[in-house]
Structure 1
Amino acid sequence: MFKAAEVKEKVESAFDGLLNELKEKMKSVYHQRSKVDDLAIKRGMPPFVMREIMSVNPFSAIIPKEYGGLGGDVKESIALMSAASYESLALSLTFGINMALFLQPVIKAGQKESKAEVMKRFVEKSNMGGLMITEPDFGSDALSMRTHYKDNGSHYNLKGTKHWAGLTGWADYWLLTGRKDTGDGQLARDIDFFVCDVTQPNQHIVVEEYFENLGLYQIPYGRNKIDVEIPKVQKLEPEQSGVKMMLDLLHRSRMSFPGMAMGFIQRMLDEAIKHCQQRFVGGKSLLKYDQVQQRLAELQSRFTICSAMCVNSSGKAGLQNDLSGIGIEANSVKSIATDMMQAASQTLLQLVGAKGYRLNHIAGRSTVDSRPFQIFEGSNDMLYSQISEGVLKLMRKAKLENLFEFIKDFHLTKKASELVKDLINFKIDLNMPQRKMVELGQVVGRIVCVDQVLELSTKGFDNNLTNSAIEYLRQEITGILSSFKYANSVQVIEDYKSDSNWLNFA
């Protein structure tokens, strides 16, 4: 036990050194050698920026010690993403893509020979990797992907089209997904993963088009043509099925989203407080206005909630755990963390006013950059609906109709149940329409957050902050439930143009 504690202390000490060095490099490239506000409005990332940042070898933090890394895990990757997102959301997402979407699944399921080569190049040559799942005709419906492969003896021939993969054209490695061609135009139901090394013959991926993405300008996205020959040693080996591995991968990534949200929300909070201290309207600082106080208090609550998420994920999202079955929790964390990111940026933009409505101002840029987080890796509407599906399935199994009766015994919400009992002690329709499923998911997700904030408070986190965060979540739940309980079945009128020109009635 003493040796294990000693090893842990050494790893943490080495990581602290790496993290401090990363912060110094970011200070240099974003504030001394250039200005982040100017860099962020240009497509791509200047070579010197990535060269300086990668010289710290940040990804070594989570690479196992036997491959030359520090051997850290989720806590370290979350801390790295948080530090990066305080300065640049695009840089933090670059970190997240490399660590959560490429390195972690390769570490967990890669074959020994292939994995050793990947880790060596990440440690010694600062290589980068990404993940390709999404196809032009199959976004959220990933299980219907048409990218397919055939077994050609010594290798697999993989063909298809992928798009919206972050780091398009940049990454040295790609984790590619496809389904086995079983003949007669049929594809297997399961999904397989392959490590593609674009520096090797017959593994080059053709970028057919670079997208003019809205926001996150420093990260390239595009459409990729896949026609590669992958050595068999580069196929990942799932413990169960490929679909389960994909769920494990995506849920672990979603549990890591608070890392990207943490530094970002803290930066929004710091910028908002500084602006309100310095800005005077009507002879007094903005801080003296009650509406401003409410906005800042809400922003501070998001900081606290995200802190609780980071602590929770650090304890649960390790590679030793199978996360394929934690959909309710992972979807709650991802959707609410990203909703809070967008809300935080909107708060700063509102407080700053007109000058924030510039792309090279942190308020305007952050509003645009944080918006896609609510869409990629599962649209939040879809994730909220899936939360409800999971909850209703468990309620049917337990023969429950009252929401509180479920919440009080559910492991993710048990501690929070008494604090929200007055809000959720009612029966729900187990066959509700989808629009209500989304709202119910928003409620359940926030109760999960209350539970995590309560857990954070027991660890010594500032009680004033946690109490405010819980009150903020209760207020949000109350507002959502008001809409949830309102009977609304209005439908779109597709042929709306007849008798609807206002000019005819003026």
Structure 2
Amino acid sequence: MHAATAEVISATNKNHPELVPFSQFLDKLKEKMKQVFHVRADIDDLSLKRGLPPFVMREIMSVNPLSVGIPKQYGGRGGVMKENIALLATASYESLALSLTFGINSALFLQPFGKFGQDEVKAGVFNRFLKEKAMGGLMITEPDFGSDALNMQTSYTEKGSKYHLKGKKHWAGLTGWADYWLLSARQKSSSDKLMRDIDFFLCDVNAPGQNIVVEEFFENLGLYAIPYGRNRLDVQLPMAHKLVPETTGVKMMLDLLHRSRMQFPGMGMGFIQRMLDEALTHTRERQVGGKSLFHYDQVQHRLSELQASYTICSAMCANSSEKAGLDVDLSSQGMEANAVKSVITDLMQDAAQSVVQLVGAKAYKINHIAGRGTADSRPFQIFEGSNDILYAQISEALVKMMKRTRENNLFQFLKGFDLTDKAVHFVKKQLDFNLDLQIQQRKLVEMGKVIGRVISLNQVLDLGDKGFKKELIDGSVTFLQQEISKLMSAFNFKNNETVVDGYEENSSWMNFVAG
């Protein structure tokens, strides 16, 4: 270890005595959130404005919430996945935007930097997070290459003892705020061709030659507290700022993204619980026709679905806590990561929509928790992989495995697959058929939705085996059985319709009304 690095670590540990129990840590965070969101300010009013008042982040960051993503030898809590997910859940009960801010810092910066960053620079960076409340983010997406990340055009060349990165990035959460960024780029050869592999670099925007120019801040539809925008990169980075993959840069990126997707249930957990609590409170208090809304059958149906979503999310949190640790290589675990991310974000949006429906017109305001929740949860179905794409990728992986094992019967394959072996018996009637392995894209998406929910059902059953409240497990099993049945009905329906070119011709309804 470099002498200067050891000195910083020693100083860091000296200033961070024995860590308080995690329950106390969360209680302190809850106390701070209550103070800034409900005493000193009103979160419903704050939700109407871009960004957050300085005192809000100052007070919240005073408890060092990001310490959960920092290794113990650098003064942090150790990057324990259970704690990372619990932090996100605690924050998302009050603010989905705050939870996402924590998630960006932890899952997209601290965790990958701690795993792949060079030791020479770790101590200084982590110390700034703990002492100066620095923040970090990740830049992958480009204006012309969104989901097609492997074809990104941001490039780098070696110049002397530095790497020179040039390109454009957009939709990076915390644009203009973060002190540190992980930047993705492809090496440019002497013949000006871009290499196939992808590399990641640490950028300190406060250091000479590392400033990132924000060309535009976006007027994002929701998540007002988080700035997004378009960035121009033209930076000179020291050699020690390059992340070191275990094998290839692409696999490093997949490990990073899959681990992040496995933590989405943390953001979903508190959010869905808040939607459930708001729905229960409103329906019990609201009187219609001489009785509370709570006692109407359709309302009970919606409430039971919210409870099912709460249970499914709980199962996902437990599953990710055990499987997504930093010591695990998740680069090949795309099917499970994609299923977790896509299903939970669908459930988040459905939960918000359901509460809006239960509350009525009052909830159709951006400063109402359900209205705000609808806008804030919607982009979760898009960023870090659009759900349509992730569902298609789930099916593509399924087909690949079925071809490899030469098994065409979906039930027979899934009962021998570790992600679905328990759940498939609960939906055998729907899945006991030979799957045509030449599937059109729209059917890949539909089948991906099915498989995502079978994987979710498996996780629910695992949680039930550990002693989770049986009534909630039973309710979520029934909910997922119904979801899978509906989705299979759509999958089996033959629909090859395509867009009608030149639809305007002979299609004005006014020409077909007499008079």
Decide: shared fold, TM above 0.5.
yes
- Matched with 1:441 is 448
The amino acid that maps onto 1:163 is H
- Matched with 2:127 is 120
Q: Distance in 2 between matches of 1:16 and 1:444?
A: 36
Task: Give the secondary structure class of the aligned counterpart of 1:186.
Answer: coil
Task: Give the secondary structure class of the aligned counterpart of 1:195.
Answer: strand
For residue 366 of structure 1, report the CA deviation from its aligned partner. Answer: 0.5
Aligned mate of 1:106, from 85, 104, 113:
113
Paired residues of 2:155 and 2:185 also in contact (CA < 8 A): yes
Paired residues of 2:79 and 2:111 also in contact (CA < 8 A): no
The amino acid that maps onto 1:129 is G
For residue 377 of structure 1, report the CA deviation from its aligned partner. Answer: 0.2
Task: Give the secondary structure class of the aligned counterpart of 1:441.
Answer: helix
Instruction: Say whether residues 1:71 and 2:78 are aligned partners.
Output: yes
For residue 11 of structure 1, report the CA deviation from its aligned partner. Answer: 8.1
For residue 463 of structure 1, report the CA deviation from its aligned partner. Answer: 0.5
- Matched with 1:243 is 250
Instruction: Say whether residues 1:282 and 2:289 are aligned partners.
Output: yes
Instruction: Say whether residues 1:80 and 2:84 are aligned partners.
Output: no
Instruction: Say whether residues 1:172 and 2:179 are aligned partners.
Output: yes
Task: Give the secondary structure class of the aligned counterpart of 1:360.
Answer: coil
- Which deviations, in whole Å up to 9, do the C-alpha atoms of 1:426-473 show, x marking residues without a partner? 111100111100010000010001100000011110010001001000
Q: Distance in 1 between matches of 2:378 and 2:140?
A: 21
The amino acid that maps onto 1:300 is Q
Paired residues of 1:74 and 1:318 also in contact (CA < 8 A): yes
For residue 12 of structure 1, report the CA deviation from its aligned partner. Answer: 8.4
- Matched with 1:4 is none
Instruction: Say whether residues 1:215 and 2:242 are aligned partners.
Output: no
- Matched with 2:189 is 182
- Matched with 1:409 is 416
The amino acid that maps onto 2:343 is I
Q: Distance in 1 between matches of 2:68 and 2:398?
A: 36
- Which deviations, in whole Å up to 9, do the C-alpha atoms of 1:209-251 show, x marking residues without a partner? 0000000001000000000000010100000000000000000
- Matched with 2:341 is 334
Aligned mate of 1:456, from 463, 470, 477:
463
Q: Distance in 1 between matches of 2:475 and 2:273?
A: 16
Instruction: Say whether residues 1:133 and 2:160 are aligned partners.
Output: no
Unpaired runs of 5+ residues, structure 2, are 1-16
- Matched with 2:10 is none
> 1:249-260 to 2 correspondence within 5 Å?
249-260=256-267
Paired residues of 1:136 and 1:162 also in contact (CA < 8 A): yes
Name the TM-score, length of structure 2 as normaliser: 0.96
Q: Distance in 1 between matches of 2:35 and 2:339?
A: 36
The amino acid that maps onto 1:435 is R
The amino acid that maps onto 1:242 is G
For residue 494 of structure 1, report the CA deviation from its aligned partner. Answer: 2.3
Q: Distance in 2 between matches of 1:165 and 1:72?
A: 23
- Matched with 1:7 is none
Task: Give the secondary structure class of the aligned counterpart of 2:349.
Answer: helix
Aligned mate of 1:352, from 359, 362, 381:
359
Paired residues of 1:206 and 1:226 also in contact (CA < 8 A): yes
Show structure 1 runs of 4+ deviating over 4 A.
Answer: 10-13
- Matched with 2:204 is 197
Instruction: Say whether residues 1:264 and 2:271 are aligned partners.
Output: yes
- Matched with 1:27 is 34
Task: Give the secondary structure class of the aligned counterpart of 2:189.
Answer: strand
Paired residues of 2:186 and 2:196 also in contact (CA < 8 A): yes
- Which deviations, in whole Å up to 9, do the C-alpha atoms of 1:244-263 show, x marking residues without a partner? 00000000000000000000
Paired residues of 1:14 and 1:70 also in contact (CA < 8 A): no
Percent identity between the two aligned chains: 62
Name the TM-score, length of structure 1 as normaliser: 0.97
Q: Distance in 2 between matches of 1:213 and 1:71?
A: 34
- Matched with 1:146 is 153
- Matched with 2:57 is 50
Report which stretch shifted further, 177-186 or 78-87.
Answer: 177-186
Task: Give the secondary structure class of the aligned counterpart of 2:246.
Answer: coil
Task: Give the secondary structure class of the aligned counterpart of 1:225.
Answer: strand
- Matched with 2:383 is 376
For residue 16 of structure 1, report the CA deviation from its aligned partner. Answer: 1.9
Task: Give the secondary structure class of the aligned counterpart of 1:182.
Answer: coil
Paired residues of 1:412 and 1:448 also in contact (CA < 8 A): yes
Unpaired runs of 5+ residues, structure 1, are 1-9
For residue 15 of structure 1, report the CA deviation from its aligned partner. Answer: 2.0
Instruction: Say whether residues 1:304 and 2:342 are aligned partners.
Output: no
- Matched with 2:43 is 36
For residue 14 of structure 1, report the CA deviation from its aligned partner. Answer: 2.6
- Which deviations, in whole Å up to 9, do the C-alpha atoms of 1:308-333 show, x marking residues without a partner? 00000000000000000001100000
- Which deviations, in whole Å up to 9, do the C-alpha atoms of 1:265-323 show, x marking residues without a partner? 00000000000000011111001110000000000000000000000000000000000
Aligned mate of 1:227, from 234, 239, 264:
234
Task: Give the secondary structure class of the aligned counterpart of 2:263.
Answer: helix
The amino acid that maps onto 1:238 is P
Q: Distance in 2 between matches of 1:248 and 1:38?
A: 39
Q: Distance in 2 between matches of 1:494 and 1:400?
A: 40
Q: Distance in 2 between matches of 1:414 and 1:332?
A: 15
- Matched with 2:405 is 398
Q: Distance in 2 between matches of 1:337 and 1:33?
A: 33
Paired residues of 1:374 and 1:380 also in contact (CA < 8 A): yes
